[in-house]
Structure 1
Amino acid sequence: MKIVLVAVPGSGKSTTLKFVKEMLPDVTIVNYGDYMLEIAKRQYGITNRDDMRKKLPVEEYRKVQELAAEEIAKLPGDVIIDTHASIRVQGGFYPGLPDRIITKLRPDAIVLMEFDPKDILERRAKDVGLRDREQESPEDIEMHQLANRYYAFAAANAGECSVYILDFRRRPQSRPFEHAEIAAKFIVDLIMRSRGTKQ
């Protein structure tokens, strides 16, 4: 099974995927951007993600995107792809999973995680120094989550796959990482059902 996991930056995707790996060690977890960077290194000598966007002409960038999708699609077994449904650009949004990419990836499901923007801002505050993120208001984050929802449905339509929305907005955590654990359990259950077994 191939699952695409999407959420706004700072939502806790990495933590969720860590829990998935603990519950299901044989699953393959890939970061789409890492695959793109490896291809850009091999073909263009690019050394970091920022340079991909700054130094590659748009057509070359798109080519790298497509090559990454083709390589990921060939991976055997159960694969979870960590990527973005939409990318914030100059006050607007750019599709993270355009038709030409999603049709190459051929996922079975897109899992979209949504959170209270205040929770996301708290998580981002703990990441200070780890990531260089633009300051956003709760309203900015909510708008990005809405864009993600629209883009996820559009991608699912082109890729002919299901969308699952894990909406944690009105579900406060009773303990640290509870949302990540619930999301991980949901993903593991999806995979186990596709294998014909129950976790």
Structure 2
Amino acid sequence: MKIVLIAVPGAGKSTTLKYVKEMLPDVTIVNYGDYMLEVARRNYGITNRDEMRKKLPVDEYRKVQEIAAEEIAKLPGDVIIDTHASIKVQGGFYPGLPDRIITKLRPDAIVLMEFNPLDILERRAKDVGLRDRENETPDDIELHQMANRYYAFAAANAGECSVYILDFRKKPQTRPFEHAEEAARFIVNLILRDREARKRL
């Protein structure tokens, strides 16, 4: 099974995927941006993501995206792809999973995690010094989450796959990382159910 995992930056995807790996060690976790960088390094001698964005012409950048998608699609077993449904650009949003990419990835499901924007701001505050993020208001974050939802449905339509929305907005955590654990359990159960279904075929 191939699952695309989506959330706004700083929402806790990495922590969720860490729990997935602990619960299901044989699953393969792929960061799409890292995979693109590896393709760019191999084909163009690019050494980091900033260089990839700044030095590659748009056509070559798109080619790198497509090669990464084709290679990820060929990975065996259960694969979770950590990526973005929408990318913030000056004054708007850019699709992270355009049709030409999602049709090459061929995922079985898109899992979208959504949170109370104040929770996301609190999580980002713990990343200060680790990541360079622009300052955003709760309204900015909520708008990005809404964009993610629209782009996720558009990608699912092009890729002919299911969308699952894990909405934690009105569910405060009773302990640290509760949301990440709950999301991880959902993803693991999705994979296990798929494995059972495949056994019956």
TM more than 0.5: yes
User: How far apart, CA to CA, are the structure 1 residues paired with 2:33 and 2:167?
Assistant: 25
Q: Output the amino acid matched with 2:136.
A: E
User: How far apart, CA to CA, are the structure 1 residues paired with 2:11 and 2:50?
Assistant: 21
* Paired position in structure 2 for 1:8: 8
* Paired position in structure 2 for 1:186: 186
Moved over 2 A (4+): none
Matching of residue 76 in structure 1 with residue 79 in structure 2: no
Report the Cα offset of residue 57 of structure 1. Answer: 0.7
The 3-state SS of whatever aligns with 1:164 is strand
Report the Cα offset of residue 55 of structure 1. Answer: 1.0
User: How far apart, CA to CA, are the structure 1 residues paired with 2:123 and 2:175?
Assistant: 14
Give matches, 1:155-194, under 5 Å.
155-194=155-194
Report the Cα offset of residue 23 of structure 1. Answer: 0.3
Report the Cα offset of residue 72 of structure 1. Answer: 0.2
Report the Cα offset of residue 52 of structure 1. Answer: 1.1
User: How far apart, CA to CA, are the structure 1 residues paired with 2:42 and 2:135?
Assistant: 33
* Paired position in structure 1 for 2:86: 86
In the TM superposition, what whole-angstrom CA distance separates every residue of 1:48-83 from its partner, at most 9, and x where no partner exists? 111111111110000000000000000000000000
Matching of residue 113 in structure 1 with residue 116 in structure 2: no
User: How far apart, CA to CA, are the structure 1 residues paired with 2:149 and 2:50?
Assistant: 26
User: How far apart, CA to CA, are the structure 2 residues paired with 1:42 and 1:189?
Assistant: 36
- The two structures, once aligned, show a CA RMSD in angstroms of 0.7
User: How far apart, CA to CA, are the structure 1 residues paired with 2:52 and 2:145?
Assistant: 25
Percent identity reads: 86
User: How far apart, CA to CA, are the structure 2 residues paired with 1:45 and 1:129?
Assistant: 28
User: How far apart, CA to CA, are the structure 2 residues paired with 1:93 and 1:57?
Assistant: 20
Q: Which runs of 5+ in 1 are unaligned?
A: none
Q: Output the amino acid matched with 1:65.
A: Q
* Paired position in structure 2 for 1:19: 19
